[in-house]
Copies of this chain bind each other. A is one copy, B any other.
Amino acid sequence: MEGKLFIYNSLKRTKEEFVAINYPYVGLYVCGPTVYGEAHLGHARPAITFDILFRLLQHLGYKVRYVRNITDVGHLENDADQGEDKIAKKARVEQLEPMEIVQLYTDNYHENMKALNVKSPSIEPRASGHIIEQQQIIQKIIDNGFAYEANGSIYFDVKKYNQTNKYGLLSGRNIDDLLENTRQLDGQEEKRASLDFALWKKAKPEHIMRWPSPWSDGFPGWHLECTAMSTKYLGETFDIHGGGLDLLFPHHECELAQSKAALGKDSVKYWMHNNMITINGQKMGKSLGNFITLKELFSGNHTLLEQAYSPMTIRFFILQAHYRSTLDFSNDALQASEKGLARLISAYKVLDGLETAEKSTYNVEELKNKCYQAILDDLNTPILIAHLFEAVKIINATKIGTEKLSKEDVSVLKQVFELFVFDILGIKIDENAGNGELLNNVVSILLNYRQKSKENKDWSTADEIRNELKEIGIIIKDSKEGFTWEME
Protein backbone atom coordinates (compact mmCIF):
# COMPACT_ATOMS: atom_id res chain seq x y z
CA MET A 1 0.00 0.00 0.00
CA GLU A 2 1.37 3.33 -0.91
CA GLY A 3 -1.64 5.54 -1.54
CA LYS A 4 -1.84 9.15 -2.57
CA LEU A 5 0.49 11.93 -1.54
CA PHE A 6 -1.04 15.00 0.07
CA ILE A 7 0.85 18.22 0.58
CA TYR A 8 -0.06 21.51 2.12
CA ASN A 9 -0.27 24.19 -0.55
CA SER A 10 0.52 27.61 0.94
CA LEU A 11 -1.21 29.22 -2.02
CA LYS A 12 -4.53 27.53 -1.24
CA ARG A 13 -3.93 27.37 2.52
CA THR A 14 -5.06 23.75 2.52
CA LYS A 15 -3.76 20.23 2.12
CA GLU A 16 -4.18 18.98 -1.45
CA GLU A 17 -3.56 15.75 -3.27
CA PHE A 18 -0.35 16.00 -5.23
CA VAL A 19 -1.00 15.50 -8.94
CA ALA A 20 2.00 15.98 -11.21
CA ILE A 21 1.51 18.37 -14.13
CA ASN A 22 3.29 16.02 -16.51
CA TYR A 23 3.45 12.56 -14.94
CA PRO A 24 5.94 10.94 -14.23
CA TYR A 25 8.02 14.14 -14.30
CA VAL A 26 8.10 16.51 -11.35
CA GLY A 27 9.71 19.93 -11.34
CA LEU A 28 10.79 21.04 -7.86
CA TYR A 29 12.40 24.41 -7.14
CA VAL A 30 13.71 25.34 -3.70
CA CYS A 31 15.37 28.59 -2.63
CA GLY A 32 18.96 27.85 -1.65
CA PRO A 33 21.37 29.88 0.44
CA THR A 34 22.77 33.35 -0.02
CA VAL A 35 26.41 32.38 0.35
CA TYR A 36 27.94 35.08 2.51
CA GLY A 37 28.43 33.19 5.80
CA GLU A 38 28.76 29.76 7.36
CA ALA A 39 25.83 27.37 7.06
CA HIS A 40 23.62 27.37 10.17
CA LEU A 41 20.43 25.80 11.47
CA GLY A 42 18.35 28.08 9.27
CA HIS A 43 19.95 26.42 6.25
CA ALA A 44 19.60 22.90 7.58
CA ARG A 45 15.82 22.88 7.98
CA PRO A 46 14.67 23.73 4.42
CA ALA A 47 17.46 21.59 2.94
CA ILE A 48 16.37 18.57 5.00
CA THR A 49 12.64 19.19 4.53
CA PHE A 50 12.87 19.24 0.75
CA ASP A 51 15.43 16.45 0.75
CA ILE A 52 12.70 14.27 2.30
CA LEU A 53 10.26 15.37 -0.40
CA PHE A 54 12.88 14.68 -3.13
CA ARG A 55 13.58 11.21 -1.70
CA LEU A 56 9.88 10.40 -1.26
CA LEU A 57 8.91 11.50 -4.78
CA GLN A 58 11.72 9.39 -6.22
CA HIS A 59 10.60 6.41 -4.14
CA LEU A 60 7.07 6.88 -5.48
CA GLY A 61 8.46 6.54 -9.00
CA TYR A 62 8.49 10.16 -10.12
CA LYS A 63 11.34 11.46 -12.21
CA VAL A 64 12.21 14.58 -10.28
CA ARG A 65 14.23 17.50 -11.56
CA TYR A 66 15.20 19.27 -8.35
CA VAL A 67 16.62 22.77 -8.78
CA ARG A 68 18.09 24.51 -5.73
CA ASN A 69 19.86 27.77 -6.44
CA ILE A 70 22.86 29.55 -5.01
CA THR A 71 22.29 33.28 -4.49
CA ASP A 72 25.59 34.96 -5.23
CA VAL A 73 24.46 38.42 -6.26
CA GLY A 74 21.62 40.86 -5.76
CA HIS A 75 20.54 39.98 -2.22
CA LEU A 76 20.70 43.31 -0.42
CA GLU A 77 20.93 43.66 3.34
CA ASN A 78 17.48 45.15 3.51
CA ASP A 79 14.61 43.54 1.65
CA ALA A 80 13.31 46.94 0.56
CA ASP A 81 16.07 47.30 -2.05
CA GLN A 82 18.27 49.24 0.30
CA GLY A 83 21.68 48.63 1.76
CA GLU A 84 24.71 46.88 0.40
CA ASP A 85 24.77 43.58 -1.44
CA LYS A 86 25.30 40.93 1.29
CA ILE A 87 28.13 39.25 -0.57
CA ALA A 88 29.84 42.46 -1.66
CA LYS A 89 29.79 43.65 1.94
CA LYS A 90 31.34 40.45 3.26
CA ALA A 91 33.95 40.68 0.48
CA ARG A 92 34.83 44.19 1.55
CA VAL A 93 35.11 43.18 5.21
CA GLU A 94 37.26 40.11 4.45
CA GLN A 95 39.23 41.89 1.70
CA LEU A 96 38.37 39.32 -0.91
CA GLU A 97 36.84 39.40 -4.40
CA PRO A 98 33.08 38.75 -4.06
CA MET A 99 33.39 35.48 -5.95
CA GLU A 100 35.99 34.29 -3.43
CA ILE A 101 33.35 34.78 -0.73
CA VAL A 102 30.89 32.87 -2.88
CA GLN A 103 33.34 29.98 -3.32
CA LEU A 104 34.24 29.83 0.36
CA TYR A 105 30.68 29.68 1.62
CA THR A 106 29.34 27.54 -1.20
CA ASP A 107 31.99 24.98 -0.28
CA ASN A 108 31.04 25.37 3.37
CA TYR A 109 27.35 24.88 2.56
CA HIS A 110 28.05 21.77 0.48
CA GLU A 111 30.26 20.27 3.17
CA ASN A 112 27.59 20.74 5.82
CA MET A 113 24.79 19.46 3.60
CA LYS A 114 26.86 16.38 2.84
CA ALA A 115 27.40 15.79 6.56
CA LEU A 116 23.63 16.04 7.03
CA ASN A 117 23.22 13.48 4.22
CA VAL A 118 21.23 15.95 2.12
CA LYS A 119 21.28 14.81 -1.50
CA SER A 120 22.71 17.06 -4.15
CA PRO A 121 19.94 18.64 -6.25
CA SER A 122 19.70 17.85 -9.96
CA ILE A 123 20.78 21.37 -10.88
CA GLU A 124 22.32 24.02 -8.64
CA PRO A 125 22.30 27.22 -10.71
CA ARG A 126 23.83 30.48 -9.59
CA ALA A 127 22.19 33.87 -9.87
CA SER A 128 25.32 35.46 -11.34
CA GLY A 129 25.37 32.77 -14.02
CA HIS A 130 21.95 33.78 -15.31
CA ILE A 131 22.16 37.52 -15.88
CA ILE A 132 21.01 37.28 -19.50
CA GLU A 133 18.02 35.15 -18.54
CA GLN A 134 17.07 37.66 -15.85
CA GLN A 135 17.36 40.53 -18.31
CA GLN A 136 15.06 38.67 -20.68
CA ILE A 137 12.40 38.34 -17.97
CA ILE A 138 12.74 42.05 -17.12
CA GLN A 139 12.23 42.94 -20.78
CA LYS A 140 9.05 40.86 -20.87
CA ILE A 141 7.72 42.53 -17.74
CA ILE A 142 8.49 45.96 -19.21
CA ASP A 143 6.87 44.98 -22.51
CA ASN A 144 3.75 43.86 -20.66
CA GLY A 145 3.53 47.22 -18.88
CA PHE A 146 4.28 46.08 -15.32
CA ALA A 147 7.63 47.75 -14.77
CA TYR A 148 9.13 51.21 -15.16
CA GLU A 149 12.58 52.70 -15.44
CA ALA A 150 13.99 55.29 -13.07
CA ASN A 151 17.57 56.52 -13.45
CA GLY A 152 18.71 53.30 -15.07
CA SER A 153 17.02 51.04 -12.52
CA ILE A 154 13.89 49.04 -13.29
CA TYR A 155 11.13 48.60 -10.70
CA PHE A 156 8.12 46.35 -10.64
CA ASP A 157 4.92 48.39 -10.57
CA VAL A 158 2.87 46.70 -7.86
CA LYS A 159 -0.10 49.05 -8.12
CA LYS A 160 -0.37 48.55 -11.85
CA TYR A 161 -0.06 44.80 -11.42
CA ASN A 162 -2.74 44.81 -8.78
CA GLN A 163 -5.24 46.36 -11.15
CA THR A 164 -5.55 43.14 -13.12
CA ASN A 165 -3.97 40.66 -10.68
CA LYS A 166 -3.88 40.20 -6.98
CA TYR A 167 -0.63 41.12 -5.24
CA GLY A 168 -0.76 39.34 -1.87
CA LEU A 169 -2.36 36.21 -3.29
CA LEU A 170 0.29 33.90 -1.87
CA SER A 171 0.98 35.52 1.49
CA GLY A 172 -2.65 36.42 2.06
CA ARG A 173 -1.72 40.00 2.76
CA ASN A 174 -4.01 42.82 1.86
CA ILE A 175 -2.38 45.34 -0.43
CA ASP A 176 -4.22 48.28 1.14
CA ASP A 177 -2.95 47.29 4.57
CA LEU A 178 0.51 46.86 3.12
CA LEU A 179 0.41 50.32 1.60
CA GLU A 180 -0.73 51.82 4.88
CA ASN A 181 1.81 50.03 6.99
CA THR A 182 4.88 50.66 4.89
CA ARG A 183 6.85 53.81 5.43
CA GLN A 184 6.23 56.75 3.16
CA LEU A 185 8.68 57.45 0.37
CA ASP A 186 11.02 60.18 1.45
CA GLY A 187 11.14 61.85 -1.94
CA GLN A 188 14.73 60.77 -2.47
CA GLU A 189 13.67 57.41 -3.74
CA GLU A 190 13.26 56.43 -7.33
CA LYS A 191 10.34 54.13 -6.67
CA ARG A 192 6.80 55.31 -7.34
CA ALA A 193 5.50 53.37 -4.36
CA SER A 194 7.19 51.76 -1.42
CA LEU A 195 5.78 48.31 -2.31
CA ASP A 196 7.46 48.38 -5.72
CA PHE A 197 10.58 46.28 -5.89
CA ALA A 198 13.74 46.34 -7.98
CA LEU A 199 14.13 44.12 -11.02
CA TRP A 200 17.38 45.80 -12.03
CA LYS A 201 19.52 48.17 -10.00
CA LYS A 202 21.93 50.60 -11.57
CA ALA A 203 25.29 50.01 -9.89
CA LYS A 204 27.08 52.77 -8.06
CA PRO A 205 30.58 53.43 -9.40
CA GLU A 206 32.25 51.47 -6.57
CA HIS A 207 29.99 48.42 -6.99
CA ILE A 208 32.09 45.48 -8.24
CA MET A 209 29.38 43.01 -9.26
CA ARG A 210 27.95 44.65 -12.37
CA TRP A 211 26.92 43.73 -15.87
CA PRO A 212 25.87 45.73 -18.92
CA SER A 213 22.15 45.91 -19.72
CA PRO A 214 19.87 47.94 -21.99
CA TRP A 215 19.11 50.15 -18.97
CA SER A 216 22.40 50.62 -17.12
CA ASP A 217 25.49 48.82 -15.87
CA GLY A 218 24.05 47.14 -12.84
CA PHE A 219 22.77 43.97 -11.24
CA PRO A 220 19.49 42.09 -10.94
CA GLY A 221 17.03 42.36 -8.07
CA TRP A 222 17.06 39.47 -5.64
CA HIS A 223 13.56 38.14 -6.35
CA LEU A 224 14.24 37.87 -10.05
CA GLU A 225 16.82 35.10 -10.09
CA CYS A 226 14.39 32.41 -8.93
CA THR A 227 11.87 33.35 -11.60
CA ALA A 228 14.55 33.27 -14.29
CA MET A 229 16.17 30.00 -13.20
CA SER A 230 12.98 28.08 -12.44
CA THR A 231 11.59 29.09 -15.84
CA LYS A 232 14.81 28.09 -17.59
CA TYR A 233 15.20 24.68 -15.99
CA LEU A 234 11.62 23.68 -15.13
CA GLY A 235 9.56 25.49 -17.74
CA GLU A 236 6.91 28.19 -17.51
CA THR A 237 4.74 26.09 -15.21
CA PHE A 238 6.10 23.55 -12.79
CA ASP A 239 4.94 21.48 -9.87
CA ILE A 240 6.40 22.56 -6.56
CA HIS A 241 8.20 25.63 -5.23
CA GLY A 242 9.58 25.34 -1.72
CA GLY A 243 11.45 27.46 0.78
CA GLY A 244 11.44 28.75 4.33
CA LEU A 245 8.40 30.58 5.67
CA ASP A 246 10.51 33.73 6.01
CA LEU A 247 10.64 33.83 2.22
CA LEU A 248 6.87 33.78 1.77
CA PHE A 249 6.76 37.56 1.85
CA PRO A 250 8.09 39.46 0.06
CA HIS A 251 10.35 37.03 -1.84
CA HIS A 252 7.84 34.46 -3.04
CA GLU A 253 5.02 36.95 -3.40
CA CYS A 254 7.29 38.93 -5.73
CA GLU A 255 8.32 35.81 -7.62
CA LEU A 256 4.70 34.92 -8.22
CA ALA A 257 3.96 38.45 -9.44
CA GLN A 258 7.01 38.46 -11.73
CA SER A 259 6.02 35.18 -13.40
CA LYS A 260 2.47 36.33 -13.88
CA ALA A 261 3.59 39.70 -15.23
CA ALA A 262 6.17 38.19 -17.57
CA LEU A 263 4.48 34.98 -18.71
CA GLY A 264 0.82 35.74 -18.09
CA LYS A 265 0.34 32.69 -15.92
CA ASP A 266 0.83 31.28 -12.45
CA SER A 267 4.02 29.28 -12.76
CA VAL A 268 3.79 27.21 -9.60
CA LYS A 269 1.13 24.61 -8.80
CA TYR A 270 2.11 23.90 -5.18
CA TRP A 271 3.93 26.30 -2.87
CA MET A 272 5.44 24.66 0.23
CA HIS A 273 7.02 26.39 3.22
CA ASN A 274 8.91 25.01 6.17
CA ASN A 275 8.45 26.85 9.45
CA MET A 276 11.15 28.61 11.40
CA ILE A 277 13.48 27.46 14.17
CA THR A 278 14.10 29.06 17.53
CA ILE A 279 16.91 28.51 20.02
CA ASN A 280 15.87 28.08 23.63
CA GLY A 281 12.65 29.79 22.65
CA GLN A 282 14.28 32.80 21.02
CA LYS A 283 14.66 33.77 17.39
CA MET A 284 18.20 33.04 16.22
CA GLY A 285 20.20 36.16 15.52
CA LYS A 286 23.78 37.33 15.51
CA SER A 287 22.95 40.21 17.85
CA LEU A 288 21.29 37.85 20.35
CA GLY A 289 24.47 35.76 20.76
CA ASN A 290 22.52 32.59 19.99
CA PHE A 291 23.63 32.24 16.43
CA ILE A 292 24.97 28.69 16.05
CA THR A 293 26.58 27.38 12.87
CA LEU A 294 26.28 23.75 11.87
CA LYS A 295 30.02 23.30 12.31
CA GLU A 296 29.69 24.53 15.90
CA LEU A 297 26.86 22.07 16.52
CA PHE A 298 28.91 19.21 15.10
CA SER A 299 31.92 20.14 17.26
CA GLY A 300 30.08 21.36 20.36
CA ASN A 301 32.21 24.48 20.21
CA HIS A 302 29.74 27.17 21.32
CA THR A 303 28.95 28.53 24.77
CA LEU A 304 25.28 27.52 24.44
CA LEU A 305 26.15 23.90 23.71
CA GLU A 306 26.73 21.30 26.42
CA GLN A 307 28.23 18.81 23.96
CA ALA A 308 28.81 18.05 20.28
CA TYR A 309 25.83 16.77 18.30
CA SER A 310 26.42 14.55 15.29
CA PRO A 311 24.95 15.58 11.94
CA MET A 312 22.57 12.63 12.16
CA THR A 313 21.34 13.77 15.56
CA ILE A 314 20.59 17.20 14.06
CA ARG A 315 18.85 15.63 11.09
CA PHE A 316 16.79 13.32 13.26
CA PHE A 317 15.89 16.15 15.61
CA ILE A 318 14.64 18.31 12.73
CA LEU A 319 12.54 15.40 11.45
CA GLN A 320 10.98 14.80 14.86
CA ALA A 321 8.95 17.96 14.30
CA HIS A 322 6.57 18.45 11.40
CA TYR A 323 8.09 20.83 8.86
CA ARG A 324 5.18 23.25 9.22
CA SER A 325 5.64 23.57 13.01
CA THR A 326 8.18 25.83 14.61
CA LEU A 327 11.09 23.94 16.07
CA ASP A 328 12.98 24.89 19.20
CA PHE A 329 16.58 23.87 19.67
CA SER A 330 17.84 23.15 23.17
CA ASN A 331 20.44 20.85 24.66
CA ASP A 332 17.75 18.77 26.35
CA ALA A 333 15.82 18.27 23.14
CA LEU A 334 18.96 17.41 21.17
CA GLN A 335 20.13 14.94 23.79
CA ALA A 336 16.73 13.27 23.70
CA SER A 337 17.01 12.98 19.91
CA GLU A 338 20.50 11.54 20.19
CA LYS A 339 19.25 8.81 22.53
CA GLY A 340 16.19 8.16 20.40
CA LEU A 341 18.22 7.78 17.25
CA ALA A 342 20.63 5.41 18.99
CA ARG A 343 17.68 3.26 20.14
CA LEU A 344 16.32 3.18 16.59
CA ILE A 345 19.63 2.11 15.05
CA SER A 346 20.24 -0.35 17.84
CA ALA A 347 16.91 -2.07 17.19
CA TYR A 348 17.69 -2.27 13.48
CA LYS A 349 21.01 -3.94 14.22
CA VAL A 350 19.32 -6.48 16.49
CA LEU A 351 16.94 -7.58 13.71
CA ASP A 352 19.46 -9.88 12.00
CA GLY A 353 20.15 -12.00 15.04
CA LEU A 354 16.57 -12.15 16.28
CA GLU A 355 15.17 -15.55 17.16
CA THR A 356 12.06 -16.01 15.02
CA ALA A 357 8.79 -17.82 15.73
CA GLU A 358 6.26 -19.69 13.62
CA LYS A 359 3.70 -16.88 13.93
CA SER A 360 3.95 -13.22 14.88
CA THR A 361 2.09 -11.74 17.82
CA TYR A 362 2.11 -8.36 16.12
CA ASN A 363 0.72 -7.03 12.84
CA VAL A 364 3.81 -5.83 11.00
CA GLU A 365 2.04 -5.14 7.69
CA GLU A 366 -0.29 -2.74 9.45
CA LEU A 367 2.69 -0.92 10.93
CA LYS A 368 4.22 -0.59 7.48
CA ASN A 369 0.97 0.88 6.13
CA LYS A 370 0.85 3.36 8.97
CA CYS A 371 4.37 4.46 8.11
CA TYR A 372 3.30 5.08 4.52
CA GLN A 373 0.20 6.95 5.61
CA ALA A 374 2.25 9.23 7.82
CA ILE A 375 4.81 10.24 5.23
CA LEU A 376 2.19 10.59 2.49
CA ASP A 377 0.22 12.92 4.76
CA ASP A 378 2.15 16.12 4.03
CA LEU A 379 5.47 14.57 5.07
CA ASN A 380 4.40 13.87 8.62
CA THR A 381 7.80 12.72 9.83
CA PRO A 382 7.03 12.93 13.61
CA ILE A 383 4.15 10.49 13.20
CA LEU A 384 6.29 8.28 10.98
CA ILE A 385 9.00 8.29 13.64
CA ALA A 386 6.45 7.44 16.33
CA HIS A 387 5.47 4.36 14.30
CA LEU A 388 9.12 3.44 13.91
CA PHE A 389 9.51 3.58 17.69
CA GLU A 390 6.57 1.24 17.93
CA ALA A 391 8.64 -1.14 15.79
CA VAL A 392 11.59 -0.64 18.15
CA LYS A 393 9.38 -1.65 21.07
CA ILE A 394 8.28 -4.83 19.30
CA ILE A 395 11.82 -5.74 18.29
CA ASN A 396 13.11 -5.28 21.83
CA ALA A 397 10.17 -7.23 23.23
CA THR A 398 10.87 -10.03 20.78
CA LYS A 399 14.49 -10.09 21.89
CA ILE A 400 13.50 -10.77 25.49
CA GLY A 401 10.72 -13.14 24.39
CA THR A 402 7.62 -11.17 25.39
CA GLU A 403 6.58 -10.79 21.73
CA LYS A 404 7.09 -13.08 18.76
CA LEU A 405 7.94 -12.34 15.16
CA SER A 406 7.94 -14.70 12.20
CA LYS A 407 10.89 -14.86 9.84
CA GLU A 408 8.81 -13.12 7.13
CA ASP A 409 7.82 -10.33 9.48
CA VAL A 410 11.40 -9.77 10.61
CA SER A 411 12.26 -9.39 6.95
CA VAL A 412 9.36 -6.93 6.46
CA LEU A 413 10.59 -4.92 9.47
CA LYS A 414 14.03 -4.82 7.94
CA GLN A 415 12.52 -3.41 4.76
CA VAL A 416 10.56 -0.88 6.79
CA PHE A 417 13.75 0.38 8.43
CA GLU A 418 15.68 0.42 5.20
CA LEU A 419 12.96 2.25 3.32
CA PHE A 420 11.79 4.74 5.94
CA VAL A 421 14.79 5.30 8.19
CA PHE A 422 17.57 5.15 5.61
CA ASP A 423 16.08 5.88 2.17
CA ILE A 424 13.33 8.38 2.98
CA LEU A 425 14.34 9.99 6.28
CA GLY A 426 17.92 9.83 5.00
CA ILE A 427 19.50 8.66 8.24
CA LYS A 428 22.85 7.01 7.74
CA ILE A 429 24.66 4.89 10.26
CA ASP A 430 27.70 6.76 11.45
CA GLU A 431 30.67 4.69 10.32
CA ASN A 432 32.85 6.32 12.93
CA ALA A 433 30.60 5.12 15.71
CA GLY A 434 30.71 1.58 14.33
CA ASN A 435 34.28 2.16 13.17
CA GLY A 436 34.43 -0.48 10.53
CA GLU A 437 35.30 -4.07 10.08
CA LEU A 438 38.75 -3.86 11.58
CA LEU A 439 37.48 -2.61 14.91
CA ASN A 440 34.91 -5.37 14.90
CA ASN A 441 37.65 -7.91 14.30
CA VAL A 442 39.87 -6.65 17.09
CA VAL A 443 36.99 -6.55 19.55
CA SER A 444 36.08 -10.11 18.56
CA ILE A 445 39.59 -11.34 19.34
CA LEU A 446 39.48 -9.62 22.70
CA LEU A 447 36.03 -11.03 23.50
CA ASN A 448 37.22 -14.51 22.63
CA TYR A 449 39.94 -14.14 25.28
CA ARG A 450 37.35 -13.02 27.74
CA GLN A 451 35.25 -16.08 26.85
CA LYS A 452 38.28 -18.30 27.38
CA SER A 453 38.94 -16.70 30.76
CA LYS A 454 35.36 -17.44 31.75
CA GLU A 455 35.72 -21.03 30.60
CA ASN A 456 38.84 -21.26 32.77
CA LYS A 457 36.82 -19.75 35.64
CA ASP A 458 39.21 -16.79 35.61
CA TRP A 459 36.39 -14.39 36.50
CA SER A 460 38.67 -11.53 37.44
CA THR A 461 40.22 -11.33 33.94
CA ALA A 462 36.78 -11.57 32.33
CA ASP A 463 35.52 -8.69 34.47
CA GLU A 464 38.66 -6.71 33.85
CA ILE A 465 38.21 -6.91 30.07
CA ARG A 466 34.58 -5.88 30.43
CA ASN A 467 35.55 -2.89 32.55
CA GLU A 468 38.42 -1.84 30.34
CA LEU A 469 36.17 -1.91 27.28
CA LYS A 470 33.52 0.03 29.16
CA GLU A 471 36.09 2.69 29.96
CA ILE A 472 36.74 3.27 26.27
CA GLY A 473 33.02 3.25 25.48
CA ILE A 474 32.32 -0.32 24.39
CA ILE A 475 29.57 -2.22 26.18
CA ILE A 476 29.58 -6.01 26.17
CA LYS A 477 26.21 -7.69 26.30
CA ASP A 478 26.14 -11.32 27.29
CA SER A 479 23.46 -13.32 25.56
CA LYS A 480 22.42 -16.92 25.10
CA GLU A 481 24.47 -17.25 21.89
CA GLY A 482 27.56 -15.76 23.54
CA PHE A 483 27.94 -11.99 23.50
CA THR A 484 27.50 -8.92 21.41
CA TRP A 485 28.87 -5.44 21.87
CA GLU A 486 27.82 -1.95 21.10
CA MET A 487 28.97 1.61 21.49
CA GLU A 488 27.98 3.38 24.64
Contact = CB atoms under 8 A, between A and B. Distances in A.
Interface of A: 65, 96-97, 99-100, 102-103, 107, 110, 120-126, 128-132, 136, 211-212, 233, 432, 435-436, 438-439, 441-443, 445-446, 449, 465, 468-469, 472-474
A471 to B, nearest CB: 9
A194 to B, nearest CB: 31
Copy number in the complex reads 2
Contacts of A441: 472
Contacts of A96: 122
A438 B435 contact: yes
A474 B441 CA distance: 10
Nearest to A472: B441
Contact of A439 (B99, B110, B442, B473): B442
Main secondary structure of the interface of A (DSSP, over half): helix
Nearest to A128: B129
Contacts of A468: 445
Contact of A445 (B121, B136, B465): B465
Contact of A132 (B132, B432, B465): B132
A239 B125 CA distance: 30
Given A439-B438, A439-B439, A100 B65 contact: yes
A132 B442 CA distance: 60
Nearest to A136: B212
A472 B212 CA distance: 65
A104 to B, nearest CB: 8
A102 B123 CA distance: 8
Given A438-B439, A439-B442, A103 B132 contact: no
B132 A129 contact: no
A97 B123 contact: yes
A90 to B, nearest CB: 15
Contact of A122 (B100, B125, B212, B438): B100
Given A99-B123, A126-B126, A442-B474, 18 more contacts: A65-B100, A100-B122, A100-B123, A103-B121, A126-B129, A128-B129, A129-B129, A131-B131, A132-B132, A132-B212, A435-B436, A435-B438, A435-B439, A438-B472, A442-B472, A445-B446, A445-B469, A446-B446
A123 B468 CA distance: 50
B120 A103 contact: yes
A74 to B, nearest CB: 14
Given A212-B136, A442-B439, A472-B441, A124 B103 contact: yes
A435 to B, nearest CB: 5
Contacts of A121: 103
Contacts of A449: 446, 449, 465
Nearest to A127: B129
A70 to B, nearest CB: 10
Contacts of A211: 132
A123 B103 contact: yes
Contact of A125 (B99, B125, B473): B99
A103 B124 CA distance: 7
Nearest to A474: B442
B128 A131 contact: no
A129 B123 CA distance: 14
A224 to B, nearest CB: 16
30 contacts: A65-B97, A65-B100, A96-B122, A97-B122, A97-B233, A99-B123, A99-B125, A100-B123, A103-B121, A103-B122, A103-B124, A107-B120, A126-B126, A129-B130, A131-B131, A131-B132, A132-B132, A132-B212, A136-B212, A435-B436, A435-B439, A438-B474, A439-B439, A442-B469, A442-B472, A445-B446, A445-B465, A445-B469, A446-B446, A449-B465
Nearest to A121: B103
Contacts of A124: 103
A347 B113 CA distance: 37
A454 to B, nearest CB: 14
A12 to B, nearest CB: 29
Contacts of A442: 439, 442-443, 446, 469, 472, 474
A460 to B, nearest CB: 12
Nearest to A232: B99
A132 B136 CA distance: 13
Nearest to A446: B446
